[in-house]
Structure 1
Protein backbone atom coordinates (compact mmCIF):
# COMPACT_ATOMS: atom_id res chain seq x y z
CA UNK A 1 0.00 0.00 0.00
CA UNK A 2 1.29 3.45 -0.90
CA UNK A 3 1.73 5.66 2.14
CA UNK A 4 0.05 9.05 2.18
CA UNK A 5 2.21 11.77 3.70
CA UNK A 6 1.76 15.50 4.18
CA UNK A 7 3.70 18.74 4.38
CA UNK A 8 1.91 21.22 6.65
CA UNK A 9 3.66 24.62 6.90
CA UNK A 10 2.19 27.75 8.46
CA UNK A 11 2.22 30.83 6.18
CA UNK A 12 3.90 33.06 8.73
CA UNK A 13 7.06 33.62 6.70
CA UNK A 14 9.13 32.28 3.80
CA UNK A 15 10.22 28.64 3.71
CA UNK A 16 13.83 27.79 4.57
CA UNK A 17 16.10 24.79 4.13
CA UNK A 18 14.60 22.97 7.11
CA UNK A 19 11.17 23.15 5.50
CA UNK A 20 12.62 21.86 2.24
CA UNK A 21 14.20 18.87 4.00
CA UNK A 22 10.90 17.95 5.66
CA UNK A 23 8.88 18.36 2.45
CA UNK A 24 11.35 16.34 0.39
CA UNK A 25 11.47 13.57 2.99
CA UNK A 26 7.67 13.43 3.12
CA UNK A 27 7.52 13.19 -0.69
CA UNK A 28 10.15 10.44 -0.66
CA UNK A 29 8.05 8.29 1.69
CA UNK A 30 4.64 8.45 0.00
CA UNK A 31 2.07 10.40 -1.95
CA UNK A 32 2.49 13.96 -0.71
CA UNK A 33 -0.45 16.06 0.44
CA UNK A 34 -0.12 19.78 1.16
CA UNK A 35 -1.86 21.49 4.05
CA UNK A 36 -1.46 25.21 4.74
CA UNK A 37 -2.01 25.66 8.48
CA UNK A 38 -3.31 29.22 8.45
CA UNK A 39 -5.51 29.29 11.56
CA UNK A 40 -3.25 31.72 13.45
CA UNK A 41 -5.06 34.68 11.93
CA UNK A 42 -2.82 37.29 13.56
CA UNK A 43 0.39 35.97 11.99
CA UNK A 44 -0.56 34.21 8.75
CA UNK A 45 -0.37 36.14 5.46
CA UNK A 46 -1.81 35.25 2.00
CA UNK A 47 1.46 36.35 0.40
CA UNK A 48 3.28 33.58 2.24
CA UNK A 49 0.79 31.01 0.93
CA UNK A 50 1.73 32.01 -2.61
CA UNK A 51 5.40 31.85 -1.64
CA UNK A 52 5.04 28.31 -0.29
CA UNK A 53 3.45 27.15 -3.54
CA UNK A 54 6.23 28.77 -5.55
CA UNK A 55 8.93 27.21 -3.36
CA UNK A 56 7.46 23.71 -3.68
CA UNK A 57 7.26 24.11 -7.46
CA UNK A 58 10.89 25.28 -7.48
CA UNK A 59 11.88 22.12 -5.60
CA UNK A 60 9.99 20.05 -8.17
CA UNK A 61 7.37 18.85 -5.68
CA UNK A 62 3.79 18.48 -6.87
CA UNK A 63 1.44 17.64 -3.95
CA UNK A 64 -1.45 15.34 -4.84
CA UNK A 65 -3.97 17.47 -2.94
CA UNK A 66 -4.15 20.84 -1.21
CA UNK A 67 -6.03 21.87 1.94
CA UNK A 68 -6.28 25.38 3.35
CA UNK A 69 -6.84 24.68 7.03
CA UNK A 70 -8.97 27.76 7.68
CA UNK A 71 -11.53 26.47 5.17
CA UNK A 72 -11.98 23.32 7.26
CA UNK A 73 -13.24 25.33 10.25
CA UNK A 74 -16.87 24.06 9.94
CA UNK A 75 -15.59 20.48 10.18
CA UNK A 76 -13.47 21.40 13.19
CA UNK A 77 -16.47 23.08 14.81
CA UNK A 78 -18.65 19.99 14.29
CA UNK A 79 -16.06 17.84 16.11
CA UNK A 80 -15.94 20.40 18.93
CA UNK A 81 -19.73 20.25 19.30
CA UNK A 82 -19.61 16.46 19.58
CA UNK A 83 -17.12 16.64 22.44
CA UNK A 84 -19.23 19.27 24.18
CA UNK A 85 -22.28 17.03 23.89
CA UNK A 86 -20.28 14.22 25.51
CA UNK A 87 -19.46 16.51 28.45
CA UNK A 88 -15.71 16.31 27.88
CA UNK A 89 -14.96 20.05 27.68
CA UNK A 90 -14.93 22.97 30.07
CA UNK A 91 -14.53 26.70 29.55
CA UNK A 92 -11.24 28.28 30.61
CA UNK A 93 -10.65 32.03 31.02
CA UNK A 94 -7.05 31.73 32.25
CA UNK A 95 -4.32 33.74 30.55
CA UNK A 96 -0.89 32.31 29.76
CA UNK A 97 0.57 34.33 32.64
CA UNK A 98 -1.98 32.97 35.08
CA UNK A 99 -1.27 29.40 34.02
CA UNK A 100 2.46 29.87 34.48
CA UNK A 101 1.99 31.50 37.89
CA UNK A 102 -0.36 28.77 39.09
CA UNK A 103 1.74 25.91 37.73
CA UNK A 104 4.96 27.32 39.27
CA UNK A 105 7.28 24.90 37.43
CA UNK A 106 10.92 24.42 38.23
CA UNK A 107 13.40 25.49 35.60
CA UNK A 108 13.20 23.23 32.56
CA UNK A 109 9.91 21.61 33.58
CA UNK A 110 6.67 21.63 31.58
CA UNK A 111 4.11 24.22 32.67
CA UNK A 112 1.17 21.89 33.20
CA UNK A 113 -2.25 23.49 33.44
CA UNK A 114 -3.46 22.90 37.04
CA UNK A 115 -7.17 22.68 36.20
CA UNK A 116 -8.07 26.09 37.64
CA UNK A 117 -11.30 26.49 35.64
CA UNK A 118 -12.53 22.91 35.84
CA UNK A 119 -16.02 22.90 37.30
CA UNK A 120 -16.46 26.67 37.04
CA UNK A 121 -18.72 28.75 34.80
CA UNK A 122 -17.02 31.64 32.99
CA UNK A 123 -18.19 35.18 33.86
CA UNK A 124 -20.63 36.67 31.38
CA UNK A 125 -19.06 38.45 28.39
CA UNK A 126 -15.59 37.14 29.27
CA UNK A 127 -13.71 35.38 26.45
CA UNK A 128 -12.83 31.76 27.12
CA UNK A 129 -11.18 28.76 25.52
CA UNK A 130 -12.42 25.18 25.57
CA UNK A 131 -10.20 22.69 27.38
CA UNK A 132 -10.44 18.92 27.17
CA UNK A 133 -11.03 17.24 30.54
CA UNK A 134 -8.52 14.42 30.11
CA UNK A 135 -9.66 12.51 33.18
CA UNK A 136 -13.24 12.46 31.88
CA UNK A 137 -12.19 10.79 28.61
CA UNK A 138 -11.47 7.49 30.35
CA UNK A 139 -8.51 6.94 28.04
CA UNK A 140 -5.03 5.96 29.21
CA UNK A 141 -2.68 8.92 29.53
CA UNK A 142 0.27 6.83 28.32
CA UNK A 143 -0.10 6.60 24.56
CA UNK A 144 1.95 4.53 22.12
CA UNK A 145 2.82 4.94 18.45
CA UNK A 146 5.01 3.43 15.76
CA UNK A 147 7.94 5.61 14.67
CA UNK A 148 9.93 4.55 11.62
CA UNK A 149 12.97 6.37 13.01
CA UNK A 150 13.01 5.07 16.58
CA UNK A 151 10.62 2.10 16.72
CA UNK A 152 7.76 1.67 19.17
CA UNK A 153 7.44 4.79 21.33
CA UNK A 154 5.25 5.99 24.18
CA UNK A 155 4.64 9.21 26.11
CA UNK A 156 2.16 10.93 28.38
CA UNK A 157 -0.71 12.84 26.83
CA UNK A 158 -1.22 14.82 30.04
CA UNK A 159 2.30 16.25 30.31
CA UNK A 160 0.89 19.79 29.97
CA UNK A 161 -2.41 19.14 31.76
CA UNK A 162 -5.84 19.53 30.17
CA UNK A 163 -5.15 20.90 26.66
CA UNK A 164 -6.90 23.77 24.95
CA UNK A 165 -8.64 22.46 21.84
CA UNK A 166 -10.54 25.63 20.91
CA UNK A 167 -8.93 29.03 21.43
CA UNK A 168 -10.35 32.26 22.79
CA UNK A 169 -10.24 33.79 19.30
CA UNK A 170 -12.80 31.17 18.18
CA UNK A 171 -10.37 29.08 16.15
CA UNK A 172 -9.28 25.47 16.75
CA UNK A 173 -6.04 24.81 18.59
CA UNK A 174 -3.14 23.21 16.72
CA UNK A 175 -3.44 19.64 18.04
CA UNK A 176 -7.19 19.47 17.47
CA UNK A 177 -7.07 20.78 13.90
CA UNK A 178 -4.01 18.69 13.10
CA UNK A 179 -5.52 15.28 13.91
CA UNK A 180 -8.82 16.13 12.23
CA UNK A 181 -7.08 17.28 9.05
CA UNK A 182 -4.66 14.34 8.95
CA UNK A 183 -7.71 12.05 8.99
CA UNK A 184 -9.55 14.13 6.38
CA UNK A 185 -6.55 13.98 4.05
CA UNK A 186 -6.12 10.23 4.57
CA UNK A 187 -2.60 10.61 5.98
CA UNK A 188 -1.08 7.24 6.89
CA UNK A 189 2.47 8.41 7.66
CA UNK A 190 3.24 11.70 9.41
CA UNK A 191 6.74 12.83 8.42
CA UNK A 192 8.02 15.75 10.51
CA UNK A 193 11.01 16.94 12.52
CA UNK A 194 11.87 15.18 15.75
CA UNK A 195 11.36 18.41 17.66
CA UNK A 196 7.64 17.72 17.16
CA UNK A 197 7.74 14.19 18.60
CA UNK A 198 6.54 15.48 21.99
CA UNK A 199 3.22 16.44 20.36
CA UNK A 200 2.47 12.83 19.45
CA UNK A 201 1.04 11.43 22.75
CA UNK A 202 -1.72 14.05 22.91
CA UNK A 203 -2.46 13.68 19.21
CA UNK A 204 -2.73 9.90 19.62
CA UNK A 205 -5.21 10.39 22.47
CA UNK A 206 -7.28 12.78 20.36
CA UNK A 207 -7.30 10.29 17.50
CA UNK A 208 -8.63 7.59 19.83
CA UNK A 209 -11.17 9.95 21.40
CA UNK A 210 -12.52 11.08 18.01
CA UNK A 211 -12.46 7.62 16.44
CA UNK A 212 -9.86 8.64 13.85
CA UNK A 213 -7.34 6.35 12.13
CA UNK A 214 -3.92 6.21 13.79
CA UNK A 215 -1.12 7.02 11.33
CA UNK A 216 2.46 5.92 11.73
CA UNK A 217 5.18 8.52 12.26
CA UNK A 218 8.64 9.36 11.05
CA UNK A 219 10.32 12.04 13.15
CA UNK A 220 13.37 12.90 11.10
CA UNK A 221 16.65 14.58 12.01
CA UNK A 222 16.83 18.39 11.99
CA UNK A 223 18.86 20.97 10.12
CA UNK A 224 20.81 23.30 12.39
CA UNK A 225 22.30 26.76 11.93
CA UNK A 226 25.90 27.67 12.69
CA UNK A 227 25.03 28.10 16.37
CA UNK A 228 23.70 24.55 16.56
CA UNK A 229 20.06 25.62 16.80
CA UNK A 230 17.16 24.35 14.68
CA UNK A 231 16.56 26.49 11.61
CA UNK A 232 13.63 28.80 12.35
CA UNK A 233 11.79 31.69 10.73
CA UNK A 234 12.13 33.79 13.88
CA UNK A 235 15.93 33.54 13.57
CA UNK A 236 15.73 34.67 9.94
CA UNK A 237 17.04 31.41 8.53
CA UNK A 238 18.12 31.73 4.90
CA UNK A 239 15.09 31.31 2.67
CA UNK A 240 14.60 29.06 -0.34
CA UNK A 241 13.81 32.14 -2.40
CA UNK A 242 17.20 33.62 -1.53
CA UNK A 243 18.94 30.39 -2.54
CA UNK A 244 17.16 30.50 -5.88
CA UNK A 245 18.28 34.10 -6.33
CA UNK A 246 21.88 32.92 -5.83
CA UNK A 247 21.50 30.50 -8.72
CA UNK A 248 20.81 27.29 -6.78
CA UNK A 249 18.66 24.88 -8.83
CA UNK A 250 15.70 23.64 -6.85
CA UNK A 251 15.77 20.18 -8.41
CA UNK A 252 19.44 19.77 -7.44
CA UNK A 253 18.73 20.82 -3.88
CA UNK A 254 15.75 18.48 -3.62
CA UNK A 255 17.82 15.55 -4.92
CA UNK A 256 20.56 16.26 -2.39
CA UNK A 257 18.07 16.46 0.48
CA UNK A 258 16.25 13.31 -0.64
CA UNK A 259 19.56 11.40 -0.61
CA UNK A 260 20.15 12.26 3.05
CA UNK A 261 18.97 9.50 5.43
CA UNK A 262 16.15 10.84 7.61
CA UNK A 263 17.51 9.03 10.67
CA UNK A 264 20.77 9.95 12.37
CA UNK A 265 22.49 12.94 13.98
CA UNK A 266 21.14 16.37 13.23
CA UNK A 267 22.72 18.17 10.30
CA UNK A 268 24.65 21.42 10.10
CA UNK A 269 23.52 23.52 7.13
CA UNK A 270 26.26 25.95 6.20
CA UNK A 271 25.98 28.49 3.40
CA UNK A 272 28.24 27.86 0.43
CA UNK A 273 29.28 30.10 -2.44
CA UNK A 274 26.57 31.70 -4.56
CA UNK A 275 25.15 29.34 -7.15
CA UNK A 276 26.02 26.11 -5.32
CA UNK A 277 23.98 23.78 -3.15
CA UNK A 278 24.45 24.06 0.59
CA UNK A 279 27.12 21.87 2.14
CA UNK A 280 25.54 19.44 4.60
CA UNK A 281 27.68 17.50 7.01
CA UNK A 282 26.77 15.29 9.94
CA UNK A 283 26.90 17.24 13.17
CA UNK A 284 25.73 15.70 16.46
CA UNK A 285 23.12 17.84 18.14
CA UNK A 286 24.08 19.17 21.54
CA UNK A 287 22.38 17.26 24.29
CA UNK A 288 21.31 14.40 22.01
Structure 2
Protein backbone atom coordinates (compact mmCIF):
# COMPACT_ATOMS: atom_id res chain seq x y z
CA UNK A 1 0.00 0.00 0.00
CA UNK A 2 1.33 3.43 -0.94
CA UNK A 3 1.67 5.84 1.97
CA UNK A 4 2.25 9.55 1.30
CA UNK A 5 2.49 12.48 3.68
CA UNK A 6 2.21 16.24 4.01
CA UNK A 7 4.49 17.62 6.73
CA UNK A 8 4.17 21.37 7.32
CA UNK A 9 5.99 23.38 9.98
CA UNK A 10 3.81 25.60 12.19
CA UNK A 11 6.05 28.65 11.82
CA UNK A 12 3.58 30.49 9.59
CA UNK A 13 0.37 30.04 7.64
CA UNK A 14 0.00 27.74 4.65
CA UNK A 15 -0.15 29.27 1.16
CA UNK A 16 -0.96 28.07 -2.37
CA UNK A 17 2.36 26.26 -2.67
CA UNK A 18 1.48 24.16 0.38
CA UNK A 19 -1.99 23.49 -1.01
CA UNK A 20 -0.46 22.32 -4.31
CA UNK A 21 1.89 19.95 -2.47
CA UNK A 22 -0.76 18.59 -0.10
CA UNK A 23 -3.15 17.95 -2.99
CA UNK A 24 -0.45 16.11 -4.94
CA UNK A 25 0.32 13.76 -2.03
CA UNK A 26 -3.37 13.31 -1.20
CA UNK A 27 -4.42 12.51 -4.75
CA UNK A 28 -1.63 10.01 -5.39
CA UNK A 29 -2.60 8.12 -2.24
CA UNK A 30 -6.29 8.12 -3.19
CA UNK A 31 -5.66 7.07 -6.79
CA UNK A 32 -3.56 4.11 -5.62
CA UNK A 33 -5.79 3.03 -2.75
CA UNK A 34 -3.28 4.13 -0.15
CA UNK A 35 -3.00 6.39 2.89
CA UNK A 36 -2.34 10.12 3.14
CA UNK A 37 -0.73 11.28 6.38
CA UNK A 38 -0.46 14.68 8.06
CA UNK A 39 2.60 15.23 10.25
CA UNK A 40 3.26 18.50 12.06
CA UNK A 41 6.98 19.33 12.07
CA UNK A 42 7.07 21.43 15.24
CA UNK A 43 10.65 21.43 16.51
CA UNK A 44 11.70 24.81 15.16
CA UNK A 45 12.13 26.36 18.61
CA UNK A 46 10.48 29.69 19.27
CA UNK A 47 9.38 29.94 15.64
CA UNK A 48 6.89 27.08 16.13
CA UNK A 49 3.38 28.28 16.91
CA UNK A 50 1.14 25.48 18.27
CA UNK A 51 -2.04 27.28 17.17
CA UNK A 52 -0.98 27.01 13.54
CA UNK A 53 -1.50 23.23 13.57
CA UNK A 54 -5.23 23.75 14.13
CA UNK A 55 -5.24 26.30 11.31
CA UNK A 56 -3.56 23.76 9.00
CA UNK A 57 -6.27 21.19 9.69
CA UNK A 58 -8.96 23.71 8.83
CA UNK A 59 -7.12 24.60 5.61
CA UNK A 60 -6.86 20.97 4.48
CA UNK A 61 -10.52 20.29 5.27
CA UNK A 62 -11.46 23.48 3.38
CA UNK A 63 -9.62 22.11 0.34
CA UNK A 64 -11.67 18.90 0.62
CA UNK A 65 -8.78 16.66 1.64
CA UNK A 66 -8.98 13.68 4.00
CA UNK A 67 -6.01 12.49 6.04
CA UNK A 68 -4.70 10.47 8.95
CA UNK A 69 -2.69 12.45 11.46
CA UNK A 70 0.45 10.94 12.94
CA UNK A 71 2.36 12.15 16.03
CA UNK A 72 4.05 15.52 15.72
CA UNK A 73 7.83 15.81 15.69
CA UNK A 74 7.86 17.18 19.24
CA UNK A 75 6.83 13.71 20.46
CA UNK A 76 9.79 12.04 18.72
CA UNK A 77 12.78 13.69 20.35
CA UNK A 78 14.03 10.42 21.83
CA UNK A 79 14.22 8.95 18.31
CA UNK A 80 16.39 11.80 17.10
CA UNK A 81 18.64 11.56 20.15
CA UNK A 82 19.10 7.82 19.73
CA UNK A 83 20.03 8.16 16.05
CA UNK A 84 22.44 11.01 16.76
CA UNK A 85 24.13 9.09 19.56
CA UNK A 86 24.55 6.06 17.31
CA UNK A 87 26.16 8.12 14.54
CA UNK A 88 28.34 9.88 17.11
CA UNK A 89 29.47 6.54 18.53
CA UNK A 90 30.32 5.37 15.01
CA UNK A 91 32.56 8.40 14.55
CA UNK A 92 30.38 9.88 11.83
CA UNK A 93 29.43 13.12 13.59
CA UNK A 94 31.59 15.89 14.97
CA UNK A 95 30.72 19.04 16.97
CA UNK A 96 30.77 22.41 15.24
CA UNK A 97 30.69 25.76 17.04
CA UNK A 98 30.98 27.93 13.92
CA UNK A 99 28.37 30.57 13.16
CA UNK A 100 27.08 31.42 9.69
CA UNK A 101 29.23 34.55 9.87
CA UNK A 102 32.30 32.42 10.61
CA UNK A 103 31.58 30.21 7.61
CA UNK A 104 30.92 33.14 5.26
CA UNK A 105 34.19 34.77 6.33
CA UNK A 106 36.13 31.81 4.94
CA UNK A 107 34.69 32.37 1.46
CA UNK A 108 33.46 28.80 1.06
CA UNK A 109 32.14 27.28 -2.13
CA UNK A 110 28.39 27.27 -2.63
CA UNK A 111 26.23 24.16 -2.58
CA UNK A 112 22.51 23.26 -2.74
CA UNK A 113 21.86 24.84 0.67
CA UNK A 114 24.17 27.83 0.34
CA UNK A 115 27.69 28.08 1.72
CA UNK A 116 29.37 24.69 2.09
CA UNK A 117 31.01 24.20 5.46
CA UNK A 118 34.81 24.16 5.07
CA UNK A 119 35.42 21.63 7.85
CA UNK A 120 36.87 24.07 10.37
CA UNK A 121 35.82 22.04 13.42
CA UNK A 122 36.44 18.57 12.01
CA UNK A 123 38.37 16.50 14.54
CA UNK A 124 37.18 18.39 17.60
CA UNK A 125 35.81 16.54 20.63
CA UNK A 126 32.36 17.15 22.03
CA UNK A 127 32.34 19.51 25.01
CA UNK A 128 29.03 19.23 26.92
CA UNK A 129 29.53 22.75 28.30
CA UNK A 130 29.89 24.38 24.89
CA UNK A 131 26.81 24.63 22.61
CA UNK A 132 27.56 22.99 19.29
CA UNK A 133 25.82 21.62 16.25
CA UNK A 134 26.65 18.08 15.13
CA UNK A 135 27.76 17.68 11.52
CA UNK A 136 27.94 14.52 9.44
CA UNK A 137 31.45 13.69 8.24
CA UNK A 138 30.28 12.99 4.71
CA UNK A 139 33.55 11.63 3.33
CA UNK A 140 33.88 9.18 6.22
CA UNK A 141 30.22 8.18 5.94
CA UNK A 142 30.48 7.50 2.22
CA UNK A 143 33.75 5.57 2.50
CA UNK A 144 32.10 2.30 3.50
CA UNK A 145 28.82 2.54 1.61
CA UNK A 146 29.65 2.08 -2.04
CA UNK A 147 27.20 3.24 -4.69
CA UNK A 148 23.70 4.02 -3.42
CA UNK A 149 20.74 4.61 -5.69
CA UNK A 150 17.25 5.95 -5.19
CA UNK A 151 14.16 6.12 -7.39
CA UNK A 152 12.19 9.22 -8.24
CA UNK A 153 8.91 8.78 -10.10
CA UNK A 154 9.60 11.96 -12.06
CA UNK A 155 13.38 11.91 -12.45
CA UNK A 156 14.04 8.16 -12.60
CA UNK A 157 16.99 6.34 -11.01
CA UNK A 158 19.46 8.55 -9.15
CA UNK A 159 22.87 7.84 -7.62
CA UNK A 160 23.19 9.32 -4.15
CA UNK A 161 25.96 11.90 -3.85
CA UNK A 162 25.72 14.14 -0.76
CA UNK A 163 29.19 15.64 -1.22
CA UNK A 164 27.94 18.88 -2.85
CA UNK A 165 26.29 19.66 0.52
CA UNK A 166 29.52 19.26 2.45
CA UNK A 167 29.31 18.15 6.09
CA UNK A 168 25.64 18.89 6.75
CA UNK A 169 24.24 19.65 10.20
CA UNK A 170 22.18 16.78 11.63
CA UNK A 171 21.68 18.20 15.14
CA UNK A 172 21.26 21.96 15.37
CA UNK A 173 22.42 24.16 18.24
CA UNK A 174 18.87 25.45 18.65
CA UNK A 175 16.84 22.33 17.82
CA UNK A 176 17.01 18.58 18.55
CA UNK A 177 17.47 17.66 14.89
CA UNK A 178 17.90 19.21 11.47
CA UNK A 179 15.36 18.71 8.69
CA UNK A 180 17.60 16.07 7.14
CA UNK A 181 17.69 13.82 10.19
CA UNK A 182 14.16 14.41 11.49
CA UNK A 183 12.36 13.95 8.17
CA UNK A 184 14.33 10.81 7.35
CA UNK A 185 13.58 9.19 10.71
CA UNK A 186 9.95 10.30 10.71
CA UNK A 187 9.20 8.95 7.24
CA UNK A 188 10.59 5.58 8.28
CA UNK A 189 8.64 5.57 11.56
CA UNK A 190 5.40 6.50 9.77
CA UNK A 191 5.80 3.84 7.08
CA UNK A 192 5.91 6.38 4.26
CA UNK A 193 6.53 4.55 0.99
CA UNK A 194 6.34 7.52 -1.39
CA UNK A 195 7.90 10.80 -0.29
CA UNK A 196 5.95 13.42 -2.23
CA UNK A 197 7.38 16.94 -2.04
CA UNK A 198 8.47 19.91 -4.15
CA UNK A 199 11.31 19.67 -6.62
CA UNK A 200 13.18 22.31 -4.61
CA UNK A 201 13.97 19.50 -2.15
CA UNK A 202 15.19 17.08 -4.83
CA UNK A 203 18.86 17.54 -3.96
CA UNK A 204 18.20 16.91 -0.24
CA UNK A 205 17.29 13.33 -1.12
CA UNK A 206 20.97 12.55 -1.70
CA UNK A 207 21.60 13.23 1.99
CA UNK A 208 18.47 11.37 3.12
CA UNK A 209 19.36 8.27 1.14
CA UNK A 210 22.77 8.12 2.83
CA UNK A 211 21.18 8.52 6.28
CA UNK A 212 18.79 5.67 5.53
CA UNK A 213 21.73 3.44 4.74
CA UNK A 214 23.72 4.48 7.81
CA UNK A 215 20.75 3.97 10.13
CA UNK A 216 19.36 0.80 8.55
CA UNK A 217 16.07 2.41 7.53
CA UNK A 218 13.71 1.32 4.74
CA UNK A 219 14.13 3.11 1.42
CA UNK A 220 10.99 4.69 -0.04
CA UNK A 221 10.40 5.97 -3.55
CA UNK A 222 10.29 9.74 -4.11
CA UNK A 223 8.04 11.94 -6.20
CA UNK A 224 9.31 15.51 -6.57
CA UNK A 225 6.58 17.64 -8.10
CA UNK A 226 6.83 21.15 -9.60
CA UNK A 227 6.59 24.13 -7.27
CA UNK A 228 4.55 27.31 -7.64
CA UNK A 229 6.28 30.61 -8.38
CA UNK A 230 5.21 34.22 -7.86
CA UNK A 231 5.39 37.19 -10.24
CA UNK A 232 9.16 37.41 -9.73
CA UNK A 233 9.65 33.70 -10.48
CA UNK A 234 10.44 33.11 -6.82
CA UNK A 235 9.12 30.14 -4.88
CA UNK A 236 6.01 30.91 -2.84
CA UNK A 237 7.19 31.09 0.77
CA UNK A 238 6.05 32.13 4.23
CA UNK A 239 9.04 34.46 4.54
CA UNK A 240 7.93 36.25 1.34
CA UNK A 241 4.46 36.81 2.85
CA UNK A 242 2.70 34.80 0.16
CA UNK A 243 -1.11 35.09 0.60
CA UNK A 244 -2.31 32.48 3.10
CA UNK A 245 -4.95 29.82 2.74
CA UNK A 246 -6.41 31.01 6.05
CA UNK A 247 -6.99 34.47 4.59
CA UNK A 248 -8.61 33.01 1.48
CA UNK A 249 -10.79 30.81 3.67
CA UNK A 250 -11.80 33.74 5.87
CA UNK A 251 -12.70 35.78 2.78
CA UNK A 252 -15.24 33.13 1.79
CA UNK A 253 -13.36 31.62 -1.15
CA UNK A 254 -14.47 28.11 -2.17
CA UNK A 255 -11.62 25.80 -1.12
CA UNK A 256 -12.80 22.79 -3.08
CA UNK A 257 -13.08 24.90 -6.23
CA UNK A 258 -9.56 26.20 -5.61
CA UNK A 259 -8.30 22.62 -5.23
CA UNK A 260 -9.93 21.65 -8.55
CA UNK A 261 -8.24 24.59 -10.26
CA UNK A 262 -4.84 23.67 -8.84
CA UNK A 263 -5.28 20.10 -10.05
CA UNK A 264 -6.00 21.40 -13.56
CA UNK A 265 -3.03 23.76 -13.55
CA UNK A 266 -5.22 26.84 -13.38
CA UNK A 267 -3.44 29.27 -11.07
CA UNK A 268 -4.35 32.76 -9.82
CA UNK A 269 -2.93 35.74 -11.69
CA UNK A 270 0.83 36.01 -11.31
CA UNK A 271 1.30 32.38 -10.19
CA UNK A 272 3.08 29.91 -12.46
CA UNK A 273 4.37 26.35 -12.21
CA UNK A 274 8.13 25.79 -12.11
CA UNK A 275 8.33 23.45 -15.10
CA UNK A 276 5.46 24.91 -17.09
TM-score, normalisation: structure 2: 0.89
Secondary structure of 1:179's partner? helix
Once the 2 structures are TM-superposed, how far is the Cα of residue 160 of structure 1 from its aligned partner? 2.1
Once the 2 structures are TM-superposed, how far is the Cα of residue 117 of structure 1 from its aligned partner? 1.1
Distance in 1 of aligned mates of 2:4 and 2:164: 27
Indicate conservation of the 8 Å contact 2:112/2:164, yes or no: no
1:192 correspondence with 2:192: no
1:41 correspondence with 2:40: no
Once the 2 structures are TM-superposed, how far is the Cα of residue 82 of structure 1 from its aligned partner? 1.5
Q: Specify the alignment match of 1:175 in structure 2.
A: 180
Distance in 1 of aligned mates of 2:92 and 2:109: 26
Q: Specify the alignment match of 1:158 in structure 2.
A: 163
Indicate conservation of the 8 Å contact 2:194/2:221, yes or no: yes
- Residue number among 98, 116, 122 corresponding to 1:118 in the alignment: 122
Q: Specify the alignment match of 1:239 in structure 2.
A: 244
| TM-superposition CA deviations, 1:168-220 (whole Å, max 9, x none) | 12511110001000000100101111111111100110011111111111111
Residues 112 and 141 of structure 1, relative CA distance in 2, 3 Å threshold: farther
Distance in 1 of aligned mates of 2:187 and 2:24: 17
- Residue number among 55, 65, 68 corresponding to 2:69 in the alignment: 65
Indicate conservation of the 8 Å contact 2:94/2:126, yes or no: no
Q: Specify the alignment match of 1:132 in structure 2.
A: 136
| TM-superposition CA deviations, 1:119-157 (whole Å, max 9, x none) | 123567321111122222234586532111122233520
Q: Specify the alignment match of 2:27 in structure 1.
A: 28
Indicate conservation of the 8 Å contact 2:195/2:222, yes or no: yes
Distance in 2 of aligned mates of 1:136 and 1:228: 38
Distance in 1 of aligned mates of 2:140 and 2:51: 42
Q: Specify the alignment match of 2:32 in structure 1.
A: none
Distance in 1 of aligned mates of 2:262 and 2:144: 39
Secondary structure of 1:6's partner? strand
Indicate conservation of the 8 Å contact 2:226/2:273, yes or no: no
CA RMSD in angstroms, aligned pairs only:
2.4
Q: Specify the alignment match of 2:105 in structure 1.
A: 101
Residues 140 and 268 of structure 1, relative CA distance in 2, 3 Å threshold: farther
Indicate conservation of the 8 Å contact 2:148/2:159, yes or no: yes
Residue correspondences, number: 270
Once the 2 structures are TM-superposed, how far is the Cα of residue 167 of structure 1 from its aligned partner? 1.2
Distance in 2 of aligned mates of 1:41 and 1:192: 23
Indicate conservation of the 8 Å contact 1:60/1:250, yes or no: yes
Secondary structure of 1:217's partner? strand
Indicate conservation of the 8 Å contact 2:111/2:164, yes or no: no
Indicate conservation of the 8 Å contact 1:18/1:223, yes or no: yes
Q: Specify the alignment match of 2:2 in structure 1.
A: 3
Secondary structure of 2:76's partner? helix
